[in-house]
Amino acid sequence: MPTLSILALDVETTGLDPATDTVVELAAVGARMDLATGRYDALETLFTTLVDPQRTIPATASAVHHLTARDLQGQPDLAQAVTGLRAAVRDFRPQLLVAHNAPFEAAFLPGLAAELTPEDPRWACTCRLAQHLWPDAPGHQLQVLRYWRRLQDRVPGCDAHRAGFDAACCAVLLAEQCRAWTPAGQTVTPALLRDRSAAAPLLLRVPFGRHRGACWRDVPRDYLEWILRTHASDTDNPFDPAIVTTAEAALQGTYAATPAPDVDAPGHDGR
């Protein structure tokens, strides 16, 4: 398969709600990647900028990315930053946008995918892909996966929750995910990555209630049926789609795969 132009994006923000919060840092990292092997020549930081949010930054947000109003004063506003991003990636011609927890980035950068990848504006999400691939991971946060998959040498440093570093980690994680799918007989394509990113994963363990921590295959049938009844009747507080999907699958005798990755081995060099 020819290489694909992958653009990994990350934003740091004043908070979690795109309706009331805004971006304080934006970065894009490019990689020409062979999806069949996960190999890429190099990561290229195509764009990175601080962004003046023109509002107060809550201490809780600064505690995550360590950016304050003093750091951001005089920086471009979000509209200027996005204009700069578009110009910086124009010659790269991205064919797939990816982020870790992509719905978050997409919500803070509305319309960007429709402009950069108009043939299919859906993002790929390395968090959701990891949930499909590795339901037994100790967590699906970006940095948990970076260490669990022994990828830390490929993006050295520890600037977690800074946009450029997290975007690079996301690109490297996508390459690892492509390599994980290929031996399982999957032909990795942009459509596969987008489709799996949009689909709810099967969970390995129950995340709530009296069966919390139990494998879904060990959950009694009447409890699975209760989950589906409750979800259907309580429209104000529905269960997460992954819980519903997993309960439905368990009733049919289908469960999350439990691969046993060789996490003790050094990470494969995918460059």
pLDDT in tens, the chain (271 residues): 579 999 999 999 999 999 999 999 999 999 999 999 999 989 999 999 999 999 999 999 999 999 999 999 999 999 999 999 999 999 999 999 999 999 999 999 999 999 999 999 999 999 999 999 999 999 999 999 999 999 999 998 888 899 999 999 999 999 999 999 887 778 999 999 999 999 999 999 999 999 999 999 999 999 999 999 999 998 888 899 999 999 999 999 999 976 544 444 444 455 5
- Among residues 192, 201, 200, the alpha carbon closest in space to that of 96 is found at 192
What distance in Å separates the CA atoms of residue 25 and residue 205, rounded to the nearest whole number? 35
Length of the chain (residues): 271
Contacts of residue 156, defined as CB under 8 A and 6 or more positions apart, other chains included, come to: none
Q: Quote the radius of gyration of the chain (alpha carbons, Å).
A: 20
Contact assessment for residue 216 and residue 254, using Cβ atoms and an 8 Å cutoff: no
